Structure 1
Amino acid sequence: MTRTAAVHGPRPVRPAFSDILRLGLLGIRTRGPRAALSALGISIGIATLVVVTAVPASSQRALMDRLSALGTNMLRVAPQANSDPPVVLPADADAMAARIGPVTGASAVANTHTTVLRSDRADPADASGISVLAARTNLLGAVHGTVRSGAFLTSTTARFPTVVLGFRAASRLGFDRVPVGKEPGQVYVGGRWFTVVGILDPLPLAPDLDSAVLVGWKAAQDRLGFDGHSTVVYVTAREAQIEAVRAVLPATVHPQLPGLVQVSRPSDALAAKRATEQTLSVLLLGLAGVAVLVGGVGVANTMVVSVLERRREIGLRRALGASRGQIRGQFLAESVVLSALGGGAGTVLGAAGAAGYAVSQSWPVVISPLALVVGGAGAVVVGMVAGVYPAVRASVLAPTEALAAV
């Protein structure tokens, strides 16, 4: 019994990936000006994608910062007014509040029930409307306050007879600034002289402090007979958890009588901030989608025109034995390489343009790394998708039809 060798036709040669890539680069090099214009169109599309996401993101961050300055993360804790018997917060109420997980800061003030005068000869009636409060040294951070002149209380100055004046209190007492290099002014508090070391800017989040004279906690205990119990506690927390913190604050700062503790509701600015953030996020997604769509249409149009212009080349290659797969690979490689070149250039141009515009508007520069990755990788993906139809169309073109159409 003899075996007859099977006769097989010649197997088509499958080019390696590097060969297909070289064919794509060759097509781009031989059509330099048109390829450059095509890459430019793609780069403009990707740059637009980066710009339309980065510029609104920078604007959004600036707006969110301004809204945050309105106290979106601050709560005010105080005993219920006119309760019988009066509710007194613990001396360490602010420290108790600070132990809540999402809380980022807590401070306190307390009424010392003393009066302040411009001098020991002033009329006591001049002190009406000005309160003397013991204050923690971290108060400014909790109420988002700033110092207009001088300095705020520190761990050192809070132990001595020094005061910081609220904006309106300073005006009432005749102070407009703390002199530098000269002897500072003094006020008469509870029958003792206290040195003025600072004046605050207006505090929109804690307007009651504008008419207050702030004394160090230790100095108030030693010199004014202060009992150490907090009157108001200011709490800052992570915005996402502000409602949860508000719910547990009464039981935290006064476990015995939580129902007699009042906590301010979150600022209306927080609701506005969340609504604005959601709206702008949807807008950013929409703009990014439109930019990607425009870029994809541009790549597809470029490759379809390329197939129509290169029918003779396609016909010759098919007549010389190139398979349909090789033709598809060549045009798909050209599309991807062209998109990658344009996408890389567009990503750099878009990032530079967005950063420059943000700086010119005094906005924080916000360029998402995701946008840069999407700009580069997205260009390649769009090139692949947009090049499928032209590649398939080129591969099904018959050699005789291609040569006859020239």
Structure 2
Amino acid sequence: MSARLRLPDAVAVATAGLRARRTRTSLSALGIAIAVAAVVAVLGIAESAKADLLTQLGEQGNLLTVASAESVNGRTVSLPVTAAPMIARIPPVRTVTAVGSVDNIAVRRSRAIPKEQTGGMNVLATQASLPTTMSAHMLLGRFLDATAERYPVVVLGYEAAKILGIASLAVPTPILLGDHWFTVAGVLAPVAVAPEIDVAALISFGQAAQVFGRTAGPSRIYLRADPDQVADVAAVLTATTVPDGKDDVQVRHPSDLLVARIAAKGAFVGLFLGLGGIALLIAGVGVANIMVISVLERRGEIGLRRALGARRGHVAAQFLLESTLLTAIGGVLGVGLGVLATAIAARLGGDPVAIPPEAPLAGLAAALLVGALAGWYPALRAARLSPVEALRTL
């Protein structure tokens, strides 16, 4: 009557081997866990960031911009003064706001800073409707209102505030625009579809005219249209902005920037997944090495089992199952760590936590596959041991 090895018995024998060498088992499982956590975290963090970008894309998909396609001596040619009111009359247009470049004005904290050190910041004249049209939010303070037309107050974009080192408005904070002092009234949150706003110091058109003598029309117009009629509105914007057709204008979808970011994140996911796969492969080689050592150390046990009737297949199954269980433990731990890392990264980045269901499954499946491959050679080597030679080590 041939000997049989039941699955519960095989599992008991395999787990006994793992429990007998707990430190070695823990370190080997930790290597697998780190690699699996990296794979799960890459997929989870990328999906969370993509979910945030898709949300923004849905919010900003009906935003359009109109700007002059020409420039003279590095300065943008202004649009007609009547452009914004004319665009606002297009029936599907919901909101309109305009900004105007105030050229060659340095933004500084003090006169000790040379005017040439601009830090990439610029000054824009803007209307009070900008936050509504751009779906922008205030981080600090308030946006420009009707009083800003008469008083020297400024709102900073997110990056401009960082460059100037302004993190609080608990006390009045003056900055220099050119040679004139303006009081900071607020700081905008990042505007993903308009990077030019993030690095700008925003003042009213009234102050731009009164202080800097700017009386030209806007340099750029932002508008929101009914989502179902964005293409129709875009088709008539050029003719509406310059009815005489003498000037050339550009009509753009700022949401194209978000689409490009989504594509870029997808490209980086493949790169980091490759690195995670390499880490998992290295961890698998470590498991294979540990299992070979385990076979050498347990030759006496193998010989005794063979002498008591265990077949070659039983011995091979024991070590193959032991290797697979070891990586399964690491895989489960790695999935948990990957999910935790994703949640922390999403919270810090302000993104929704979005983990694709296939990420934990792929991580666990990869761990089991690595365990099976890593245990194949040690199991085969253990099965080939002669009972007589193995018993000599007792």
Number of the residue aligned with 1:251: 235
Number of the residue aligned with 1:46: 33
Alignment equivalent of 1:75, drawn from 43, 54, 64: 64
Query: Unpaired segments of 5 or more residues in structure 1?
Result: 1-9, 98-105, 112-129, 153-162, 178-198, 214-230, 239-243
**Matches of residues 111-130 of structure 1 in structure 2 within 5 Å?**
none
Number of the residue aligned with 1:24: 14
The alignment's C-alpha RMSD in Å is 5.4
Q: Distance in 1 between matches of 2:6 and 2:278?
A: 36
Contact 1:24–1:333, Cα closer than 8 Å, also in 2: yes
Contact 1:40–1:342, Cα closer than 8 Å, also in 2: no
Q: Distance in 2 between matches of 1:65 and 1:234?
A: 22
TM-score by length of 1: 0.55
Q: 1:284/1:205 Cα in 2 relative to 1: closer, same or farther (>3 Å)?
A: same
Any idea what SS the aligned residue of 2:5 has? coil
**Matches of residues 383-398 of structure 1 in structure 2 within 5 Å?**
383-398=371-386
**Matches of residues 129-278 of structure 1 in structure 2 within 5 Å?**
135=129, 138-141=132-135, 144=136, 146=138, 149-150=141-142, 164=146, 169-170=148-149, 173-174=151-152, 201=187, 205=196, 210-212=203-205, 232-235=221-224, 249-251=233-235, 262-264=250-252, 266=254, 273=261, 276-278=264-266
Q: Deviations over 1:251-281 (max 9, x none)?
A: 3769999997741364896587357525532
Q: 1:110/1:349 Cα in 2 relative to 1: closer, same or farther (>3 Å)?
A: closer
Q: Distance in 1 between matches of 2:224 and 2:83?
A: 22
Q: 1:43/1:376 Cα in 2 relative to 1: closer, same or farther (>3 Å)?
A: farther
How much does 1:399 deviate? 1.6
Contact 1:299–1:335, Cα closer than 8 Å, also in 2: yes
How much does 1:296 deviate? 0.8
Q: Distance in 2 between matches of 1:286 and 1:248?
A: 44
Q: 1:298/1:133 Cα in 2 relative to 1: closer, same or farther (>3 Å)?
A: closer
How much does 1:297 deviate? 0.8
Q: Give the percent of matched residue pairs that are identical in Structure 1 and Structure 2.
A: 33
Number of the residue aligned with 1:155: none
Looking at CA atoms only, which structure, 1 or 2, has the larger radius of gyration? 1
How much does 1:91 deviate? 5.1
How much does 1:293 deviate? 0.6
Q: Distance in 1 between matches of 2:52 and 2:154?
A: 30
Q: 1:310/1:250 Cα in 2 relative to 1: closer, same or farther (>3 Å)?
A: same
Q: How many residues are matched?
A: 304
Contact 2:44–2:339, Cα closer than 8 Å, also in 1: no
Number of the residue aligned with 1:194: none
Q: Deviations over 1:331-366 (max 9, x none)?
A: 11211222222333344456556766x59x954586
Contact 1:52–1:288, Cα closer than 8 Å, also in 2: yes
Q: Distance in 2 between matches of 1:397 and 1:135?
A: 82
Q: Distance in 2 between matches of 1:255 and 1:364?
A: 41
1:398 partner letter: S
Q: 1:258/1:393 Cα in 2 relative to 1: closer, same or farther (>3 Å)?
A: farther
1:316 partner letter: L
Q: 1:256/1:36 Cα in 2 relative to 1: closer, same or farther (>3 Å)?
A: same
Q: Distance in 2 between matches of 1:383 and 1:210?
A: 63
Q: 1:399/1:255 Cα in 2 relative to 1: closer, same or farther (>3 Å)?
A: farther
2:390 partner letter: A
**Matches of residues 90-129 of structure 1 in structure 2 within 5 Å?**
93=90, 96=92, 107-109=95-97
How much does 1:40 deviate? 2.3
Any idea what SS the aligned residue of 2:92 has? helix
Indicate whether 1:381 and 2:369 are aligned: yes
Contact 1:315–1:401, Cα closer than 8 Å, also in 2: yes
Number of the residue aligned with 1:301: 289
Q: 1:379/1:151 Cα in 2 relative to 1: closer, same or farther (>3 Å)?
A: same
Q: Distance in 2 between matches of 1:91 and 1:354?
A: 43
Q: Deviations over 1:79-117 (max 9, x none)?
A: 99889x999856564x626xxxxxxxx632489xxxxxx
**Matches of residues 321-336 of structure 1 in structure 2 within 5 Å?**
321-336=309-324
Q: Deviations over 1:345-394 (max 9, x none)?
A: 344456556766x59x9545868455544444432232122111111221
Q: Distance in 2 between matches of 1:288 and 1:342?
A: 14
How much does 1:48 deviate? 4.4
Q: 1:325/1:248 Cα in 2 relative to 1: closer, same or farther (>3 Å)?
A: farther
Q: 1:274/1:306 Cα in 2 relative to 1: closer, same or farther (>3 Å)?
A: same
Q: Distance in 1 between matches of 2:51 and 2:225?
A: 16
TM-score by length of 2: 0.56
2:92 partner letter: M
Contact 1:328–1:395, Cα closer than 8 Å, also in 2: yes
Number of the residue aligned with 2:4: 14
Q: Distance in 1 between matches of 2:374 and 2:359?
A: 20
Any idea what SS the aligned residue of 1:173 has? coil
Q: Distance in 1 between matches of 2:128 and 2:225?
A: 20
Q: Distance in 2 between matches of 1:292 and 1:232?
A: 51
Indicate whether 1:318 and 2:306 are aligned: yes
